[in-house]
Amino acid sequence: MAILHRATVTPTKTELVACWLDRQSWGGVGEVEVIGSYRFDDPEGAVGVEALIVSRGSSLFHVPMTYRGAALDGAEAHLIGTMDHSVLGKRWIYEAINDPVAVACFARALSGQQKQATLDLYDGDDLIARREPTVRIHRRVDAASAVGSLRLVQALDEVFHGGETLVATWRDGEAVVAAR
């Protein structure tokens, strides 16, 4: 279960993602709109693993990232940014593909050994709600294909055939978000 806190974050996730997309050659232009998200649980409970599905202009993007309470050694080039969280304090946000905790979560999900997290909202120590995820993921396997390296998809206009894939589904769409 992912523990969500009733909190204020500065800058917002949308602002961080917009700045990060601005730094990508393929990141498009225009306003960023968050369509939805899903999370995985870190078995150790220390790292937040979340992926956002966002639109920018006519493009859709998958932005998997991690939230950490301290900087990740050797990962400066993969820092999306930092935010101040009113409950947890300063958080370092990284590209998930370069964070070993997230890579392990996605690998387990592709192997059918990890499901997406349930979302429990807390106000202080009190559980106040269980939220339905805005994006659901499911595993798809083509047994005729060989298993390759883990790949987290960012631009959601790619087509995949074979192998193991994670497919994200939201109100108005569906796309492969991870493959191997």
pLDDT at 94: 95
**Residue 6 pLDDT > 90:** no
Mean pLDDT of 108-127: 81
| Main-chain phi, psi angles of 45, to 5 degrees | 75, 15
Using the predicted structure, report yes or no on whether residue 1 has a pLDDT greater than 70. no
Does residue 18 carry a pLDDT above 90? yes
The rounded distance, in Å, linking the Cα atoms of 99 and 74 is 10
Instruction: Give the pTM.
Output: 0.87
**Mean pLDDT throughout 158-175?**
87
Residue 169 pLDDT exceeds 80: yes
Return the pLDDT at 87: 66
Model pLDDT for residues 56-108, shown as the tens digit of each residue: 999 999 999 999 988 988 877 889 999 987 666 698 999 999 999 999 999 99
| Residue 105 C-beta-side C-alpha neighbours within 13 Å | 28
Contacts 24+ apart (CB under 8 A), 67-73: 67/91, 67/92, 67/93, 68/92, 68/93, 68/94, 68/99, 72/99
The domain limits of the chain are 2-133
Q: Give pLDDT, residue 86.
A: 67
